[in-house]
Amino acid sequence: MPDTIRLRVSRYRPETDPTPHWQDYDVPLRRDWTILDGLNHIKNQLDTTLSFRWSCRMGICGSCGMTVDGEPLLTCGTFLSDYAPGPIRVEPLNNFPVIRDLVVDITDFITKLPRVKPWIIRDDELSLDDGEYLQTPEQLDAYKQFSMCINCMLCYSACPVYGLDPCFIGPAAVALAERYDLDSRDQGTKERIEFLVEPDGVYGCTLVGECTRACPKQVDPAAAIQRYKIKAAKASVLAFLLPRGAR
Protein backbone atom coordinates (compact mmCIF):
# COMPACT_ATOMS: atom_id res chain seq x y z
CA MET A 1 0.00 0.00 0.00
CA PRO A 2 1.42 3.44 -0.91
CA ASP A 3 2.26 5.95 1.79
CA THR A 4 -0.17 8.63 0.62
CA ILE A 5 -3.48 8.97 -1.17
CA ARG A 6 -4.87 11.99 -2.99
CA LEU A 7 -8.07 13.71 -1.90
CA ARG A 8 -9.63 15.75 -4.68
CA VAL A 9 -11.70 18.23 -2.69
CA SER A 10 -14.41 20.56 -3.96
CA ARG A 11 -13.57 24.13 -2.96
CA TYR A 12 -15.96 27.05 -3.04
CA ARG A 13 -15.65 30.44 -1.38
CA PRO A 14 -18.65 32.53 -2.45
CA GLU A 15 -16.86 35.80 -1.77
CA THR A 16 -14.17 35.00 -4.36
CA ASP A 17 -15.21 31.97 -6.46
CA PRO A 18 -17.86 32.20 -9.19
CA THR A 19 -18.22 28.38 -9.18
CA PRO A 20 -16.81 25.42 -7.23
CA HIS A 21 -13.44 24.04 -8.32
CA TRP A 22 -11.19 21.10 -7.42
CA GLN A 23 -8.11 21.20 -5.23
CA ASP A 24 -5.85 18.18 -4.70
CA TYR A 25 -4.19 17.22 -1.42
CA ASP A 26 -1.95 14.22 -0.65
CA VAL A 27 -2.63 12.79 2.81
CA PRO A 28 -1.10 9.83 4.68
CA LEU A 29 -2.69 6.51 3.73
CA ARG A 30 -3.16 4.56 6.95
CA ARG A 31 -5.47 1.59 7.38
CA ASP A 32 -7.24 3.13 10.37
CA TRP A 33 -7.71 6.57 8.84
CA THR A 34 -11.12 7.64 7.60
CA ILE A 35 -11.80 10.32 5.03
CA LEU A 36 -12.63 12.62 7.91
CA ASP A 37 -9.14 11.96 9.32
CA GLY A 38 -7.73 12.90 5.93
CA LEU A 39 -9.72 16.14 5.87
CA ASN A 40 -8.58 16.99 9.39
CA HIS A 41 -4.98 16.37 8.30
CA ILE A 42 -5.50 18.85 5.48
CA LYS A 43 -7.08 21.38 7.84
CA ASN A 44 -4.38 21.02 10.49
CA GLN A 45 -1.27 20.51 8.37
CA LEU A 46 -1.81 21.64 4.78
CA ASP A 47 -4.56 24.22 4.34
CA THR A 48 -6.33 25.92 7.22
CA THR A 49 -8.84 27.55 4.87
CA LEU A 50 -10.68 24.29 4.13
CA SER A 51 -14.19 24.29 5.61
CA PHE A 52 -16.26 21.22 6.55
CA ARG A 53 -18.47 20.01 9.39
CA TRP A 54 -17.80 17.26 11.89
CA SER A 55 -18.38 16.58 15.57
CA CYS A 56 -18.54 13.14 17.20
CA ARG A 57 -16.39 11.00 14.83
CA MET A 58 -18.55 8.03 15.91
CA GLY A 59 -21.37 7.95 13.33
CA ILE A 60 -23.86 9.41 15.80
CA CYS A 61 -24.09 13.17 15.22
CA GLY A 62 -24.58 12.96 11.43
CA SER A 63 -22.74 16.22 10.78
CA CYS A 64 -19.88 14.89 8.62
CA GLY A 65 -22.00 13.72 5.67
CA MET A 66 -20.40 14.43 2.30
CA THR A 67 -20.38 13.07 -1.22
CA VAL A 68 -17.50 10.62 -1.68
CA ASP A 69 -16.85 9.48 -5.25
CA GLY A 70 -20.45 10.36 -6.06
CA GLU A 71 -22.01 8.59 -3.05
CA PRO A 72 -23.46 10.28 0.06
CA LEU A 73 -21.58 8.91 3.08
CA LEU A 74 -20.57 9.70 6.64
CA THR A 75 -16.89 10.50 6.25
CA CYS A 76 -16.13 9.41 9.83
CA GLY A 77 -17.00 5.83 8.88
CA THR A 78 -15.53 5.74 5.37
CA PHE A 79 -11.92 4.55 5.19
CA LEU A 80 -9.24 5.91 2.91
CA SER A 81 -7.87 2.42 2.28
CA ASP A 82 -11.14 1.33 0.66
CA TYR A 83 -10.45 3.79 -2.16
CA ALA A 84 -6.75 3.13 -2.72
CA PRO A 85 -4.89 4.01 -4.83
CA GLY A 86 -7.19 7.03 -5.31
CA PRO A 87 -7.75 9.79 -6.02
CA ILE A 88 -10.89 10.20 -3.91
CA ARG A 89 -13.37 12.92 -4.86
CA VAL A 90 -14.89 14.67 -1.84
CA GLU A 91 -17.78 17.04 -2.47
CA PRO A 92 -20.61 18.60 -0.43
CA LEU A 93 -23.91 16.75 -0.22
CA ASN A 94 -26.10 17.05 -3.30
CA ASN A 95 -29.45 18.86 -3.34
CA PHE A 96 -28.45 21.52 -0.77
CA PRO A 97 -27.08 25.05 -1.26
CA VAL A 98 -23.33 25.19 -0.61
CA ILE A 99 -22.28 27.73 2.01
CA ARG A 100 -18.54 27.18 1.66
CA ASP A 101 -16.37 24.29 0.46
CA LEU A 102 -17.96 21.12 1.93
CA VAL A 103 -20.50 22.90 4.16
CA VAL A 104 -24.13 22.87 3.01
CA ASP A 105 -27.18 24.80 4.18
CA ILE A 106 -29.80 22.46 5.69
CA THR A 107 -32.22 25.21 6.68
CA ASP A 108 -34.89 23.71 4.42
CA PHE A 109 -34.94 20.47 6.41
CA ILE A 110 -34.83 22.25 9.77
CA THR A 111 -37.84 24.31 8.67
CA LYS A 112 -39.82 21.31 7.43
CA LEU A 113 -39.17 18.93 10.32
CA PRO A 114 -41.49 20.58 12.90
CA ARG A 115 -44.34 20.34 10.39
CA VAL A 116 -44.52 16.55 10.91
CA LYS A 117 -44.60 17.07 14.71
CA PRO A 118 -41.81 14.66 15.65
CA TRP A 119 -42.70 14.49 19.32
CA ILE A 120 -45.21 12.58 21.45
CA ILE A 121 -48.70 14.09 21.26
CA ARG A 122 -51.27 13.19 23.88
CA ASP A 123 -55.00 13.91 23.98
CA ASP A 124 -55.02 13.23 27.70
CA GLU A 125 -51.85 13.87 29.67
CA LEU A 126 -51.41 11.80 32.82
CA SER A 127 -50.52 13.60 36.01
CA LEU A 128 -47.28 12.84 37.83
CA ASP A 129 -49.31 11.00 40.44
CA ASP A 130 -50.56 8.60 37.77
CA GLY A 131 -47.02 7.33 37.21
CA GLU A 132 -45.07 6.57 34.04
CA TYR A 133 -46.22 5.69 30.56
CA LEU A 134 -45.22 2.05 30.55
CA GLN A 135 -44.10 0.33 27.36
CA THR A 136 -43.34 -3.30 26.62
CA PRO A 137 -40.24 -4.45 24.68
CA GLU A 138 -42.55 -5.38 21.81
CA GLN A 139 -44.02 -1.88 21.73
CA LEU A 140 -40.51 -0.43 21.68
CA ASP A 141 -39.51 -2.72 18.82
CA ALA A 142 -42.45 -1.42 16.76
CA TYR A 143 -40.80 1.96 16.25
CA LYS A 144 -37.16 1.44 17.24
CA GLN A 145 -35.87 1.18 13.65
CA PHE A 146 -37.32 4.55 12.70
CA SER A 147 -35.99 6.16 15.88
CA MET A 148 -32.39 5.56 14.76
CA CYS A 149 -32.40 8.53 12.35
CA ILE A 150 -29.51 10.93 13.08
CA ASN A 151 -30.60 13.68 10.66
CA CYS A 152 -27.42 13.30 8.62
CA MET A 153 -29.18 14.37 5.40
CA LEU A 154 -27.68 11.53 3.34
CA CYS A 155 -31.17 10.41 2.35
CA TYR A 156 -32.04 13.91 1.10
CA SER A 157 -28.80 14.05 -0.87
CA ALA A 158 -29.59 10.67 -2.46
CA CYS A 159 -33.27 11.39 -3.15
CA PRO A 160 -33.94 12.27 -6.82
CA VAL A 161 -37.43 13.51 -5.95
CA TYR A 162 -36.09 16.07 -3.48
CA GLY A 163 -33.45 17.03 -6.03
CA LEU A 164 -36.15 17.83 -8.59
CA ASP A 165 -38.76 19.22 -6.20
CA PRO A 166 -37.36 20.91 -3.08
CA CYS A 167 -40.92 21.33 -1.79
CA PHE A 168 -41.10 17.56 -1.14
CA ILE A 169 -41.10 16.93 2.61
CA GLY A 170 -38.34 14.35 2.23
CA PRO A 171 -37.50 10.89 3.59
CA ALA A 172 -36.09 11.63 7.06
CA ALA A 173 -39.07 13.79 8.05
CA VAL A 174 -41.53 11.03 7.10
CA ALA A 175 -39.45 8.38 8.89
CA LEU A 176 -39.56 10.47 12.06
CA ALA A 177 -43.31 10.98 11.70
CA GLU A 178 -43.72 7.22 11.43
CA ARG A 179 -41.50 6.74 14.48
CA TYR A 180 -43.96 8.68 16.63
CA ASP A 181 -47.05 7.23 14.99
CA LEU A 182 -45.86 3.76 15.98
CA ASP A 183 -45.09 4.79 19.55
CA SER A 184 -47.70 3.30 21.90
CA ARG A 185 -47.61 6.49 23.99
CA ASP A 186 -48.52 8.76 21.07
CA GLN A 187 -51.97 9.91 19.93
CA GLY A 188 -50.98 12.36 17.22
CA THR A 189 -51.30 10.29 14.04
CA LYS A 190 -54.32 12.24 12.79
CA GLU A 191 -52.47 15.56 13.06
CA ARG A 192 -49.49 14.25 11.10
CA ILE A 193 -51.61 12.65 8.39
CA GLU A 194 -53.41 15.93 7.74
CA PHE A 195 -50.11 17.45 6.71
CA LEU A 196 -48.47 14.47 5.02
CA VAL A 197 -51.34 13.88 2.59
CA GLU A 198 -50.79 17.35 1.15
CA PRO A 199 -49.21 17.58 -2.36
CA ASP A 200 -45.72 18.02 -0.91
CA GLY A 201 -46.15 15.07 1.46
CA VAL A 202 -45.71 11.33 1.07
CA TYR A 203 -47.36 11.05 -2.34
CA GLY A 204 -44.48 12.94 -3.92
CA CYS A 205 -42.26 9.87 -3.40
CA THR A 206 -41.84 7.68 -6.49
CA LEU A 207 -40.21 4.81 -4.56
CA VAL A 208 -36.75 4.96 -6.08
CA GLY A 209 -35.37 3.69 -2.77
CA GLU A 210 -32.06 5.56 -2.85
CA CYS A 211 -32.83 7.07 0.57
CA THR A 212 -32.81 3.64 2.20
CA ARG A 213 -29.65 2.58 0.39
CA ALA A 214 -27.85 5.70 1.59
CA CYS A 215 -29.01 5.54 5.21
CA PRO A 216 -26.07 4.69 7.53
CA LYS A 217 -28.37 3.58 10.35
CA GLN A 218 -30.67 1.17 8.42
CA VAL A 219 -33.69 3.32 9.18
CA ASP A 220 -35.33 2.42 5.83
CA PRO A 221 -37.11 5.73 5.16
CA ALA A 222 -38.50 4.35 1.90
CA ALA A 223 -40.47 1.78 3.91
CA ALA A 224 -41.70 4.50 6.25
CA ILE A 225 -42.99 6.51 3.29
CA GLN A 226 -44.82 3.54 1.78
CA ARG A 227 -46.35 2.61 5.13
CA TYR A 228 -47.52 6.18 5.46
CA LYS A 229 -49.08 6.13 2.01
CA ILE A 230 -51.17 3.11 3.03
CA LYS A 231 -52.11 4.72 6.33
CA ALA A 232 -53.05 7.98 4.63
CA ALA A 233 -55.12 6.16 2.01
CA LYS A 234 -57.06 4.31 4.71
CA ALA A 235 -57.67 7.55 6.57
CA SER A 236 -58.96 9.21 3.39
CA VAL A 237 -61.36 6.32 2.68
CA LEU A 238 -62.67 6.37 6.24
CA ALA A 239 -63.12 10.13 6.11
CA PHE A 240 -65.17 9.73 2.92
CA LEU A 241 -67.30 6.79 4.10
CA LEU A 242 -67.94 7.61 7.74
CA PRO A 243 -69.58 10.68 9.24
CA ARG A 244 -67.32 12.79 11.41
CA GLY A 245 -68.87 11.62 14.67
CA ALA A 246 -68.34 7.93 13.84
CA ARG A 247 -64.59 8.19 13.16
**What are the structural domains of the chain?**
4-104 (3.10.20.30), 107-246 (1.10.1060.10)
Strand ranges, E, within the chain:
4-11, 21-28, 65-68, 71-74, 88-91, 98-100, 103-104
pLDDT in tens, the chain (247 residues): 789 999 999 999 999 999 999 999 999 999 999 999 999 999 999 999 999 999 999 999 999 999 999 999 999 999 999 999 989 999 999 999 999 999 999 999 999 999 999 999 998 888 888 888 899 999 999 999 999 999 999 999 999 999 999 999 999 999 999 999 999 999 999 999 988 988 899 999 998 999 999 999 999 999 999 998 998 888 778 777 776 655 5
Question: Using CA atoms, how far apart are residues 11 and 223, in angstroms rounded to an integer?
Answer: 36
What is the distance in angstroms between the CA of the first residue and the CA of the last residue of the chain? 66
Predicted confidence at residue 246, as pLDDT, reads 53
Contact 22, 92 (CB under 8 A): no
